[in-house]
Every structure is written in structure tokens, then in C-alpha cells.
Amino acid sequence: MSALSVFAPAKINLALHVIGQREDGYHLLDSLVAFAPVGDRLTLRPAEGFSMTVSGPEAQGVPTDHSNLVLKAAALFAAHTGMTGGVAFHLEKNLPAASGIGGGSSDAAAAIRGLLQMGFGDASSVQARVLGQLGAALTRLGADIPMCLSPEPQRAQGVGDDLTAATLPPLPCLLVNPRVGVATPAVFKALIQKDNPWITTPPQFADAQDCIAWLAVQRNDLQPPAIATAPVIATVLETLAALPGCRLTRMSGSGATCFALFATPAEARAAETALRASRPEWWCTEGTLGDQRAASAPRPAFNVAQISRG
């Protein structure tokens, strides 16, 4: 079996409402997510056992032992499918860690997509059965993993496992992280109101501006407690709101990554250029949010020598 390359796109919570809490402590959520054309890249190569290496601009501090979600997801896959042999994973880490954009969960989901391709090829019915068997275990491993398996706009409810496809227009976006890690448990601990209203049922949107106007009356209920934990998030939101063309700012997930939405990709690109000049210490990137399923499908991985041989 040849090596595979799988794209792991950033997951953006356009809205995130905390609507309750179960007796076991899990919070009940109602979230609308879309995926960005930026993310990590995972390479899978057949090997004797499971192993992990990491490179890339955001590689520092990413574990390569079995505490990494990629290796945990691979172990689950092997246990549920009887997979023999192993895989050497290499992660090109481009997304900042602990930043509220699902980096680790998207990496784990990319591992599952790659393992499904290695084990079952294009047998979609077999893949669907395997994912059905894995679903509950993957949710326990990471609540964002199921939604990242199919990186398309979705409404995620329950603890993140009740997923419904959503129809959204392309949303030009600027993502910004101030290089401050925010621990999700600390944010939920600081959350005072835990029985907030649901998201308003999304209508059919005419265009990006129509969608942005609807999003403006939704919320991220984790934003206030995250700001209390890391006040720099408020600075990021204020800075984004002041950029020319910015239509909406909000934090994604439990932070600290924030986003600004624009009416056109040109406005988003101009905003990125301006922000890089004024805040070079922040991580930022622009792109159009939407459906990344085609981009994240497993593909053959070629090295330079193979390409040069044609």
C-alpha cells in the first residue's frame, strides 16, 4: 500500500451556544461550524507499528507519543477493525495548538479518513459501517472528531455528536490567534450561564452578507469566560472590528482564535496584509470558509524523488 496524504482543515465555530449540562458533566451544545482552506497535513505510510513524527511552523510542543490524538484514534481504529500491521504518521503542523479551531481533532479525523482508505479503498458502504462502530468511541476521545470526519458546514448538537449538514454561502474570513493557549476546561469552569437559548434555525441565505447578518444575532457563549481567562482575546476582537470591510468578529470554540468575516475575498486579503504589518507577533491567515471535503480526501503522497522521476 502506497503512502497517503490527508489534509486536516481548521474547524471554525461560527456560533456556539451552551444550552445545558448533563448529569455526567458534559455540556450540551448547539453549534454551527464551517471549515477553512488552511490546516495541517497528515502523511500515512505502512509500517510495523504505529509511530508519529511532527514538523512544521507550529510543531513545537506537539506530542509524538500515544498521548497524541492521531495515535489514539489509530489505536481505536485498529481495535474496532482488527487491523494488522501499522502506520508511520507524519504531521505537518500549521495550526496553533489549543486554539479553538479543532486542530488536534481534525488531525485525528484525517487519520481515520486515511486509515479507511488504506483498509477499505473506496468501499463507501464498508466505511460507513466502520464509522458507525467507531462513532461513540471517537466522541469520547474528542467531541469535535465526528464533525471533522466530514469537513463540511454542519450544525452540531448534543455533546457534538448530533450532526446535521448545513447550507452556507462561501464566507471570506480572517483567522487570528494571539499566541495565547486557552485551556477548554478552564473556560467551561468560568461559564456562569449554562442553559442558554438554542441557535435560531438557519434560513436559506442569499449571499455572504445575508448570512453574516443572521450570524450577528447568534453568539459564542464561551467568549465571555474565555476573555475573563485570557483578556487579550478582547484586544484581538477590537483590532479585527477596526479593519476596513470587517462585517462581524467572534471567537471560535473555546478560544483563543478569533475570526472576522468579510463580504469579499479581496477584503479579507487586504485585512490580512494590514494585520500582519501591525501585529506581526500574532498568527493570522485568510481564506474562505465552507466545504473542505474534496480538499481533505486522502491522496497518494509523493516525495521529491518520485516526482522528479515522473
pLDDT at 304: 36
CATH topology assigned to domain 4-164: Ribosomal Protein S5; domain 2 (3.30.230)
| Every domain of the chain and the residues it spans | 4-164, 167-289
Query: pLDDT tens for residues 261-301?
Result: 999 999 999 999 999 999 999 999 999 999 999 999 999 99
Is 96 labelled as part of a ligand binding site? Answer: yes
pLDDT at 105: 96
pLDDT at 307: 32
**Does pLDDT of 204 surpass 50?**
yes
Query: pLDDT tens for residues 212-240?
Result: 999 999 999 999 999 999 999 999 999 99
| Residue of 11, 40, 72, 221 marked catalytic | 11
4-164 and 167-289: identical CATH topology = no
Is 99 labelled as part of a ligand binding site? Answer: yes
Instruction: Please give the model's pTM, rounded to 2 decimal places.
Output: 0.94
Instruction: Using alpha carbons, select from 38, 111, 128 the residue that is nearest to residue 69.
Output: 111
Query: Phi/psi of residue 230, each to 5°?
Result: -135, 90
Give the C-alpha separation, 9 to 106, whole Å. Answer: 6
Instruction: Using alpha carbons, select from 133, 132, 158, 123 the residue that is nearest to residue 144.
Output: 158
Instruction: Using alpha carbons, select from 112, 257, 248 the residue that is nearest to residue 176.
Output: 257
CATH topology assigned to domain 167-289: Alpha-Beta Plaits (3.30.70)
The whole-chain average pLDDT of the chain stands at 93
Secondary structure of residue 307 in the 3-state scheme: helix
Q: Give the three cell numbers for residue 14.
A: 461560527
The type of residue at 163 is L
Is 101 labelled as part of a ligand binding site? Answer: yes
**Does pLDDT of 310 surpass 70?**
no
Helices (H), 8-83: 69-81
The Cβ-side half-sphere exposure at 303, using a 13 Å CA radius, reads 6
Report yes or no: 155 and 30 within 8 Å, Cβ to Cβ: yes
93 is catalytic: no
Q: Give the H/E segment covering residue 248.
A: strand 248-251
11 is catalytic: yes
Is 103 labelled as part of a ligand binding site? Answer: yes
Instruction: Using alpha carbons, select from 20, 19, 10, 15 the residue that is nearest to residue 31.
Output: 15
Query: Phi/psi of residue 173, each to 5°?
Result: -145, 150
pLDDT at 303: 55
Query: pLDDT tens for residues 87-145?
Result: 999 999 999 988 999 999 999 999 999 999 998 887 677 778 888 888 889 989 998 99
Mean pLDDT of all residues in 55-75: 96
Is 158 labelled as part of a ligand binding site? Answer: no
Is 105 labelled as part of a ligand binding site? Answer: yes
pLDDT at 1: 59
| Residue of 40, 144, 221, 291 marked catalytic | 144
69: left (phi over 0), alpha (psi -120 to 50) or beta: alpha
